[in-house]
Amino acid sequence: MGMISFIKTPKPRRFGYSPVFYDERKEALEERERQIRQEMGLTKEGEERVSLIKGQFRKQYDSKRRVKSNRKKRNLRLLVIFTILCLLFYYLIYF
C-alpha cells in the first residue's frame, strides 16, 4: 500500500483569488458622514461611535515612511558628494 502512494501524485490545487477594490477616499468620506450624523444626533442611540484610529495609524505610518525615504536620499546624496570631493582631492594631490 505504501508503494501506491509514491506512484500516485496529488493533483495541484487551484488558487481561488477574487480581487477586492478598496477606495480609501470613499471609506474616509463615509466615516466622516457617520461621525457628523452622530454629533448632530441623527443616529439611533444604540449605535456605537467608531473612531478613525485605523486611518490615523495609516497616515502616521505613511508619513514616517516618507521621512525614512527622504533620509535615505539625503544620505546617498551626501555619500556621492563626499566621494566626488575625495576623488577631486586625490587628483589635485597626485597629478
pLDDT tens by residue, 30-47: 888 888 887 777 766 666
Of 82 and 61, the one with more pLDDT: 82
CB 34 within 8 A of CB 50: yes
Output Rg (C-alpha) for the chain, integer angstroms: 29
Predicted model pTM = 0.35
- The predicted pLDDT at position 82 comes to 96
Q: Which residue has the higher pLDDT, 54 or 42?
A: 42
Q: What pLDDT shows up at residue 49?
A: 56
CB 31 within 8 A of CB 52: yes
Secondary structure letter of residue 45 according to DSSP = T
- The chain-wide mean pLDDT, for the chain, equals 79
Instruction: Compute, in degrees rounded to 10, the torsion defined by CA atoms 83, 88, 94, 95.
Output: 140
More confident residue, 78 or 53: 78
What is the Cα–Cα distance from 38 to 50, expressed in whole angstroms?
10
